[in-house]
A and B are shown apart, each in its own frame.
Chain A
Amino acid sequence: SQTIHQWPATLVQPVGSPLSLECTVEGTSNPNLYWYRQAAGRGLQLLFYSVGIGQISSEVPQNLSASRPQDRQFILSSKKLLLSDSGFYLCAWSRQSNTEAFFGQGTRLTVV
């Protein structure tokens, strides 16, 4: 069966510090991968998606970047965090031929 791992679960970082969140998928190959953000009291917003190694599409302009160094690994990064980067970040995957997405447990990021 397929599983998705996302870490860390919680993170408190000072303004201006770097960020690296990692997500890995097991049990499938060549998945589509996604990063979503859920701001407090709001819905989910798609930040990045990837259909293959090294292929990243950004949905919204922001202070964050994403990379996919391996088929089943998706990394969300920032060089300098802003207060507005606080939120709940969710990684997800889907099969290439299917629109249904499966989510990780999320990372609660607080920038102080």
Chain B
Amino acid sequence: GDSVTQMEGPVTLSEEAFLTINCTYTATGYPSLFWYVQYPGEGLQLLLKATKADDKGSNKGFEATYRKETTSFHLEKGSVQVSDSAVYFCALSDNAGGTSYGKLTFGQGTILTVHP
């Protein structure tokens, strides 16, 4: 079955540090890949997405590139802010057979804390 593995947390950084959160996946079809962010006590918000190999998703200074050869979708940001403190989830939606119904398979989540 499909699975998503992301780096264990928590990750603690100082403001303006470089961020990388690793994500690798296993899928039977041609998945779309996502990063979601969850701020304390809230639901999930879509941060960025990529729907095919070599696509780069970007939003709010975050980037991730769909690497089919390494089955990876690592999240990066050049300079984090305190307001980026949250839980980050990597997810995939598998289009195997042409019908995924938007069902998402999530990684375990990575807690990011950014200190001033």
> Which residues of A are at the interface with B, using a C-beta cutoff of 8 A?
6, 32, 34, 36, 42-46, 49, 51, 59, 90, 92, 94-95, 98-106, 108
- Interface-central residue, A44, A94, A104, A105, by most chain B CB under 10 Å: A44
> Which residues of B are at the interface with A, using a C-beta cutoff of 8 A?
32, 34, 36, 41-46, 49, 51, 89, 93, 95, 100-109
CB distance from B88 to the nearest CB of A (A): 11
Please report whether the interface of chain B is mostly helix, strand, loop or mixed according to DSSP: loop
Q: Once A and B bind, how many residue pairs between them come within 8 Å at the CB atom?
A: 64
Query: Can you give 23 A-B contacts (C-beta < 8 A)?
Result: A42-B108, A42-B109, A43-B89, A43-B106, A43-B107, A44-B44, A44-B106, A44-B109, A51-B101, A92-B44, A99-B32, A99-B51, A99-B93, A99-B102, A100-B32, A100-B34, A100-B46, A101-B46, A101-B93, A103-B44, A105-B42, A105-B43, A106-B42
CB distance from A59 to the nearest CB of B (A): 8
Please report whether the interface of chain A is mostly helix, strand, loop or mixed according to DSSP: strand
Residue pair A43, B108 in contact (C-beta under 8 Å): yes
For A90, the chain B residues whose CB sits under 8 A away are: 43-44
CB distance from B112 to the nearest CB of A (A): 15
Closest 4 CB pairs of A and B: A94-B102, A99-B93, A103-B43, A103-B44
Residue pair B95, A99 in contact (C-beta under 8 Å): yes
For B95, the chain A residues whose CB sits under 8 A away are: 99
Other A-B pairs beyond A43-B109, A104-B43, 17, CB < 8 Å:
A32-B102, A34-B102, A34-B103, A42-B108, A43-B89, A43-B108, A46-B104, A49-B102, A49-B103, A92-B104, A99-B51, A100-B46, A101-B46, A101-B104, A105-B42, A105-B43, A106-B43
